[in-house]
Amino acid sequence: MAKLFVTRTRARYGETDASGIVYYNSYFVYFELGRVEMFRELGLPYDWRLPIADTACRYHASARFDDLLEIRSFVEEIRSCGFRIGGRVYRVIEADPAAEPTLLVEGHTSMVTVDADRRPTPLPDAFRAALTPLL
């Protein structure tokens, strides 16, 4: 099973919408928080030539303001010119920290390594070496 990278954040007031729950595009911000922390732990540069090729999210339950969220990120796939990172966002049950958190959403994001002209270019060795053992 893929190694999980875990980080936490609280749902912010500005991330909610008039239906009272966290707005659907906020989860892509959470997924990115997860990827940033994964890259930090791996010592890989995040702010690099890594445009996003596609992303998706499936919603199971909703988060509310101030919910403590746990973001779990993992390598789903390594490709010749990029990779795909999976993400899941959970609500931590603060009254019972030992309880398994509730799965809210799951999704993924594919990133492509490109050259200075933004053409796909083979995944650099440093990325391949760091990501391969995580699958």
Report if residue 32 touches its own copies, rule: CB under 8 A: yes
What is the H or E stretch that residue 55 is in?
Answer: strand 52-59
Report if residue 65 touches its own copies, rule: CB under 8 A: yes
Report if residue 76 touches its own copies, rule: CB under 8 A: no
Report if residue 23 touches its own copies, rule: CB under 8 A: yes
3-class secondary-structure state, position 115: coil
Report if residue 8 touches its own copies, rule: CB under 8 A: no
Residue with tokens 């990325």: 127
Give residues 109-128 in contact with its own copies (rule: CB under 8 A): none
What is the spatial distance between Cα 57 and Cα 10, in angstroms, rounded to a whole number? 19
Contact set with its own copies (CB under 8 A): 10, 12-14, 16-21, 23-26, 28-29, 32-33, 36, 46-47, 51-59, 62, 64-66
